[in-house]
Amino acid sequence: MYIANHSSFLDILITTGLNPRLVLLTNRWVWRSPVFGRVVRMAEYYPVADGAEDSLAPLQDLVTRGYSIVVFPEGTRSYTDKIQRFHKGAFYIAEKLGLDVVPVVLHGVHYTMQKGDWLLKNGTSSVYYHPRIPLTDATFGTTYSERGKGFGKWFRMELDRIKQQEETPAYFREQLIRSYTYKGPVLEWYCRIKTASEGNYEQFHDLLPRTGTFYDLGCGYGFMTYMLHWAAPERIFTGVDYDEEKVAVAQGNFLRDDAIHFEQADLTQYELKPCDGIIISDVLHYLLPADQETLLERAVAALNAGGRLIIRDGIKEIEDRFKGTKLSEFFSTRMFKFNKTTNDLHFLSKSFIEDFSRKHELNMQVMDNAKFTSNLIFVLEKK
């Protein structure tokens, strides 16, 4: 018996394509469906609405003829990719028919086509096979009821492990772009260019804890905020920006949930609440030098112990690449006008950040990942 998690219609297509000698246990709706019913009945898939006990004789006949059985123990697709309770009927059948169990973990199918969605998204669906587990193996319990609970717990842990490994911000790029499609072609184009040039914000994802409360100061349209939250749903984000139009667009994204909130405010006046991390990316050079230091002081004061202040900005000492920084700002503020500025730009010096870090006794890490600009990333950690 093959058991698999169930969160998408694609689960059925994937599992039926694994081997020609498989039959699925279906619900009564599929059995009677005017679209799928004829195919299901011809393939000898079996409806289990009447109970597992009444299914033993016909399923034994199929097993005797060399077929394996595919079961989705959740019973129905979930609207989320969280695994629901495993019903014990599947494990009752396996016990009575003397079948080994092969766990099959499906990942990516919910993202590509979730329940209630009639459209496919561009994504990758993966099938993770695990070694067969003999009926005599007591790892997941000795009774069919215990095995149902044990397998359900194991499936949740295994899917969480896969998600943490695979669902980095890049995984959600298509979802982000599609959520801005109806904001207009220019903004969709900007979303594509921005996320590509930022490497889908993977470096910021690696620098932040996966849980906690965070700020994205100078959040713009919210691209980074959404991707960092989707990649770690237990991150609670507040995005703040001076541009009221950008904040309205970010706040109005139909995929926004209660863990994301955007506010329009002047960063030099904004009151930060206690948090676990703050990102200030490509923002400080828009502020006057006195305001830069004031904002950084407020940020450090708001950080909890162990919290991180992540600063990325153009550093004027790196002369060979500083021209690229100024050129990119010319395009964003003058030509395409995606960013607004009311005064001259004031880029940082590395020594200023180093002095600030020593003053507040912060642990500092410097990262230089840029090729054509003088942007450096400073990670300041509060002790």
Q: Could you tell me where the DSSP H helices lie in 170-318?
A: 173-179, 185-197, 202-207, 223-231, 244-251, 289-302
Q: What is the model's pTM?
A: 0.85
How confident is the model over 78-134, as pLDDT tens digits? Answer: 777 889 999 888 899 999 999 999 999 999 988 888 877 777 888 888 999 999 999
| Domain coordinates in residue numbering, the chain | 2-166, 169-381
Q: Give 183 or 37, the one with higher predicted confidence.
A: 183
For residues 40 and 179, give the distance between their C-alpha atoms in angstroms, rounded to a whole number. Answer: 36
Domains 2-166 and 169-381 share a fold: no
CA distances from 361 to 156, 207, 232, 381, 383 (A): 41, 19, 29, 9, 8
pLDDT band at 273 (very low <50, low <70, confident <90, very high): very high
Question: Is the pLDDT confidence value at 4 over 90?
Answer: yes
What single-letter DSSP state applies at residue 85? P
Question: Is the pLDDT confidence value at 24 over 50?
Answer: yes
Domain range 2-166, CATH class:
alpha beta
How confident is the model over 52-93, as pLDDT tens digits? Answer: 677 788 889 889 999 898 888 988 777 778 899 998 888 999
Q: Give 37 or 228, the one with higher predicted confidence.
A: 228
Contacts of residues 369-372 at CB distance under 8 Å and 24 or more positions apart, as own/partner, are 369/203, 370/321, 372/321, 372/324
The percent of residues above 90 in pLDDT, for the chain, comes to: 58
How confident is the model over 172-208, as pLDDT tens digits? Answer: 999 999 999 989 999 999 999 999 989 999 999 999 9
Q: Which CATH number fits domain 169-381: 3.90.180.10, 3.40.605.10, 3.40.50.150, 3.30.750.80?
A: 3.40.50.150
Question: Is the pLDDT confidence value at 238 over 60?
Answer: yes
